[in-house]
Structure 1
Amino acid sequence: MRDTNRLAEIETLLSVLAEGSFSAAARMRGMTPSAVSKMMARLEERLGVTLLKRSTRKIQVTEEGARFARQGQAILEALDAAEHEASCGRVAGTVRIATSAAYANHILAPILGGLLQTHPEIRIDLAIGDNVSDLYGQPIDLAVRAGPLDDSTLMTRHLGRSEIVEVMAPPRGDGGPPPLRIGFSYARRDATWRGRSSRLLVNDGATIAALVAVGAGAARVGRFTVARELAARQVVLCDPHAEPLFEDFHLLYVGRAKTLPRRVQAVLDYLTRHGRVD
C-alpha cells in the first residue's frame, strides 16, 4: 500500500508552476511554504530527477518537470472523467472554487449551506486569494473574478455589477486630520480603482473593508463588502454625490457547459442564480 499522496503532489506541482513560487502555491492550497518545498523535494527524490530549479528570485521548471506536469494534468483530467462516468448521473465529488476573500465572506458564505443541502454529495474546496488563478495550470474548477477579462478562451457566467464606493468612518465632531488613504498593494486591471496614492497598502479587498470599518482610513471598496456598515452608519460615503462606478463580476470555467462534470455544472448553475453581487 502506498502512503504517498501522489495526486496531492501533482496538484501542488501544478500550483507552483502556475503561481511561480512556493509561497503563492502554499496560499492557494492552504499549506505553508515549507510544506510545499518539502513535498516537492520528496517528489524529486522519489523520481530521481530535478523538476524545479530554485533561486532567490524565481523558480524555473526543467524539461523533466514540464513533461511530468503535462502528464500529471492529464491524469487529473482523466480522473475527473472517470468520476463523472462512474457517478451514473449523480451530482457528487469535490468542486474547487478560487475566489477573493471579499466575495467568499459576503456572497458565498450565506449561500454555501443551501448549496450543500441541495447537493448532499458535493464537497466544496475554496481557494481564497485576490490573485488571478490560472484555470489551465491549476486544479481549479471555477473561479470568481472581478473586473475586465483578459482570457477570451475561458467560458464565463456573469454574476452582476458591483458598485464601487469610497467610504470612511463617520467624521468626528472636532474635524480631526484627514483620513488615512488605504489601497491595494498590487495594480488592479480596472482603471476604476486607480486614485490618489495610499499610505497603507493591502493585498486583500476584505481586509481593506475591515480596516475602513474600524476607522483606520478611507478606501474604495465594493459596496457589497460594506453594505451592513453603511446601513448601520458605521461607515459613510466620502462623497455622496460622486458619480457611480461599477465593476463586473464573472464566474470562469474551462470548456463548454455540456461537457462539464455534473458536479461542476451543478455548482455553476447554483452560483449563477444565487451568487450575484448586485
Structure 2
Amino acid sequence: MRDPNRLQEMEVFLAVVDEGSFSAAALARQMTPSAVSKMMTRLEQRLGIPLMRRTTRQIRLTDEGMSFARSARGVLAALDQAEREVGRGPVAGIVRIATSAAYANHILAPILPGLLQRHPELEIELVIGDGLVDMGGQPIDLAVRAGPLPNSAMIARSLGTSEVITVRAPDTVEGSVGFAYARRDPIWREASSRVRATDGNTIAALALHGNGSARVGNFVVREELASGRLERVSGGAAREEFHVLYLGKAAALPARVLAVVEHLVREGRVDR
C-alpha cells in the first residue's frame, strides 16, 4: 500500500519551493516550521538524495530538487484534473446551441471538427435563428448572440467584436437589402429596404447577387470582399459585440457544455 502522506509531502515541498523558506511554507500550510522541517527530512531520506541546500538566509534547490519539483507539479495537476473530470462527468452527450446562420456558417462550422475529434462522444445540435431564445424555457444549453445583452440571469463570455460594414456587388440594382424586423441595436436602423430577410446570412447572399447594398458583419463577407465579388461602400462602419451566453456559473456547468464554451471562447471569435 502506498503511503498516503506522499502527496502531502509533495504539497509541502512545493510550498517550500514557492515560499522560499520553511517558516513561510509553514504559514501557508498552517503548520509549524519544525513539522515542515521534519517532513522534508523524511522525504529526502526516503528518496536517498538531497533536494535542497539550506543556509541561514535561503534555500537553494539541487538539480534533483528542481527535477522533483517539476514532476511533483505534474502529479498534483493530474490529480486535480482527474477530480474535476469525475466531478463533472465525461464530455459526452448533446449540446444544443442557439445561434445565427451567419455565425454558424462562417465561424462555427470551420472550428467544430477540432472539438468533435477531441471529444468523440460529444454531439452538437444547432438551433438557427437571429431572434432571442428563452433559454430557461427551451432545451438550449448555449446561445451565441450579437449586440446589446438583455438583462437576465444569463452569464456572458465575449467572442470579440465584429465590424459592421455596408457592401454591394459591382453591378447591383438601386436600393438596399435589410432585416425584415426591427433590430435592438441602433447600428442596424436605416431606411426601409426594397428586399428584406430575417437573417444576416441571407441578407449577405442577396447583396452578393446584386439585389442592393446591405449592412453585414465583416466576418460574413470576408472572402467575397477579398475576391472582388463584393465591394465595400465608404462610410457608415460600426462595431457589434458577440457573446456566448449560458445559465448559471461555469463551475456548475456539465462537462459537455463547459467544453463547448471554452472552445468557442478560444477558437470562435469573430474578430480573428
1:192·1:245 contact (CA, 8 Å) conserved in 2? yes
1:102·1:205 contact (CA, 8 Å) conserved in 2? yes
Q: In 1, Cα distance between the equivalents of 2:249 and 2:220? A: 31
Matches within 5 A, 1:184-199: 184-199=179-194
Matches within 5 A, 1:96-135: 96-135=96-135
RMSD across aligned C-alpha pairs, in angstroms? 1.9
Task: Give the Å deviation of 1:253.
Answer: 0.1
**Over alpha carbons, which structure has the higher Rg?**
2
Moved over 6 A (4+): 85-88
Q: Label 1:93 to 1:169 Cα distance change in 2 as closer, same or farther (>3 A).
A: same
Q: Label 1:212 to 1:243 Cα distance change in 2 as closer, same or farther (>3 A).
A: closer
Q: Give 1:200's match in structure 2, choosing from 181, 195, 201.
A: 195
> 1:253 aligns to what?
246
> 1:11 aligns to what?
none
Q: In 2, Cα distance between the equivalents of 1:88 and 1:199? A: 51
Q: Give 1:179's match in structure 2, choosing from 163, 174, 180.
A: 174
2:155·2:245 contact (CA, 8 Å) conserved in 1? yes
Task: Give the Å deviation of 1:197.
Answer: 1.5
Please tell me whether residue 214 in structure 1 is matched to residue 190 in structure 2. Answer: no
1:183·1:202 contact (CA, 8 Å) conserved in 2? yes
Q: In 2, Cα distance between the equivalents of 1:238 and 1:171? A: 13
2:88·2:254 contact (CA, 8 Å) conserved in 1? no
1:162·1:248 contact (CA, 8 Å) conserved in 2? yes
Per-residue CA distance 1:91-119 (angstroms, 9 max, x = gap): 11110000000000000010111110011
Secondary structure of the corresponding residue to residue 234 of structure 1: coil
Per-residue CA distance 1:123-178 (angstroms, 9 max, x = gap): 00111111111111110000000000112421011000000000001148xxxxx6
Q: In 1, Cα distance between the equivalents of 2:138 and 2:100? A: 16
Letter in 2 for 1:230: L
Q: In 2, Cα distance between the equivalents of 1:138 and 1:171? A: 44
Q: In 1, Cα distance between the equivalents of 2:114 and 2:210? A: 34
1:168·1:179 contact (CA, 8 Å) conserved in 2? no
Secondary structure of the corresponding residue to residue 107 of structure 2: helix
Per-residue CA distance 1:27-62 (angstroms, 9 max, x = gap): xxxxxxxxxxxxxxxxxxxxxxxxxxxxxxxxxxxx
Q: Percent identity?
A: 57
2:171·2:210 contact (CA, 8 Å) conserved in 1? no
> 2:90 aligns to what?
90
Q: In 2, Cα distance between the equivalents of 1:158 and 1:132? A: 17
Q: In 1, Cα distance between the equivalents of 2:144 and 2:105? A: 13
1:162·1:223 contact (CA, 8 Å) conserved in 2? yes
Task: Give the Å deviation of 1:88.
Answer: 6.9
2:94·2:125 contact (CA, 8 Å) conserved in 1? yes
Q: Label 1:201 to 1:113 Cα distance change in 2 as closer, same or farther (>3 A).
A: same
Letter in 1 for 2:222: A
